[in-house]
Amino acid sequence: MPAIEKSLVAREVLTQLVKREKNWAAREPGVMVVFCIVGVVAIGLTSLFVYKKLVARRNAKQQMGRGAVV
């Protein structure tokens, strides 16, 4: 019978945790702002990196097409 008791206790704990954390974002607006700023910066840096790689690849293709005349 201990297995039944453990599952009931685990279910009660899970229910309490779910009830307690209903609207975390509304209670912590500062943390959400920081997450958004960090996300925007990360997306911007990733986009810049990809853009530079694409420009370098395009320039390399153009150099190969001209017979690598420098």
Read off the pLDDT of residues 17-38 as tens digits, 9 standing for 90 and up. 776 666 888 888 999 999 999 9
Q: How confident is the model at residue 70 (pLDDT cuts 50, 70, 90)?
A: low
SS3 content of the chain, % helix, strand, coil (to 5): 85, 0, 15
Please determine, for residue 9, whether its predicted confidence score (pLDDT) is greater than 60: yes
Other CB atoms within a 10 A radius of the CB of residue 47 amount to 10
Domain extents in the chain: 24-70
pLDDT of residue 7: 67
Do residues 32 and 25 make contact, with C-beta atoms less than 8 angstroms apart? yes
Q: Cα–Cα distance between 44 and 4 in angstroms, integer?
A: 51
pLDDT of residue 68: 54
